[in-house]
Amino acid sequence: MFKGVRDGSYFYFANSYYYAPLDKSVIASTTDYGVEFVSSIHKDNIWGVQFHPEKSQELGMKVLNNFLNQG
């Protein structure tokens, strides 16, 4: 889902909580904003993101397009 998205890219977050999965193998990305937290997860055909791709401009559209065109 992050094909073509460089490490260190910026996405829009609008909350102060985050998900901490018990199964660390599902972590797809993390973000450091004073504290490192899980910003996306992936397992099998399920993806979840903590950020708002619809508010993340061009990179958000790239993530959504990658999601729609995977497989």
Domain residue ranges in the chain: 24-68
State mean pLDDT over 28-52: 91
Q: Could you tell me the pLDDT band of residue 56, with boundaries at 50, 70 and 90? A: very high
Tokens standing for 59? 């990179």
Average pLDDT, the chain: 90
Q: Could you give the CA distance from residue 24 to residue 64 in angstroms, rounded to a whole number?
A: 24
Q: Could you give the CA distance from residue 57 to residue 62 in angstroms, rounded to a whole number?
A: 9
The predicted pLDDT at position 16 comes to 79
Q: Could you give the CA distance from residue 66 to residue 17 in angstroms, rounded to a whole number?
A: 26
Q: Could you tell me the pLDDT band of residue 18, with boundaries at 50, 70 and 90? A: confident
Distance, C-alpha 20 to centroid of its chain = 14
Instruction: Assess contact for 50 and 40: CB atoms under 8 A.
Output: yes
State mean pLDDT over 32-36: 89
